[in-house]
Amino acid sequence: MEVADIKSGSVFDMVYEIVKQIPAGKVATYGQIARMLNNPRLSRVVGYALHVNPNPFLIPCHRVVNRFGEVSKAFAFGGENRQRHLLKDEGVEFDNLGRVILSRYLWKNS
DNA sequence: TTAATGACCTATC
DNA sequence: CGATAGGCCATTA
């Protein structure tokens, strides 16, 4: 199913649908998701959508990081430490700066 | 309808 | 590298 076909009415829902499709062991960036929505400027909205994340159990928000692979500071799911643990548990590695190696684990949707 | 908000991004110092 | 500022835009109160 194409991302472009996802039109649940609100951008938030679209974001959720996309995030749900991120496979384990991969991560996506806010800007990337925004681009998937055909609106590169929605990067902030994407973050906000996850901020008010209604279903932390259905939405793997821990697989969404910023442009540099850094985990969110205000992670409303148990702290950034929690997010790193979850990713690490999926096989995602971090560099010495504590950032996800995007060059290897960035999710590529087509 | 208006104003405020923010898990971003880019530029500048 | 860290701090600051502005812009961007959907959502909410």
Q: How confident is the model over A67-84, as pLDDT tens digits?
A: 999 988 877 666 778 888
DSSP string, A34-87: HHHTT-GGGHHHHHHHHHT-S-TTTS-GGGEE-TTSPPPTT-TTT-HHHHHHHH
Give yes or no for CB of A41 within 7 Å of strand C: yes
AA letter at A58: L
Counting every residue, how long is chain A? 110
Give yes or no for CB of A41 within 7 Å of strand B: no
Q: How confident is the model over A19-35, as pLDDT tens digits?
A: 999 999 999 999 999 99
Q: How confident is the model over A35-55, as pLDDT tens digits?
A: 999 899 999 999 999 988 868
Residue numbers of A annotated as active site: 61
Mean pLDDT score of chain A = 87
Q: Model pTM?
A: 0.88
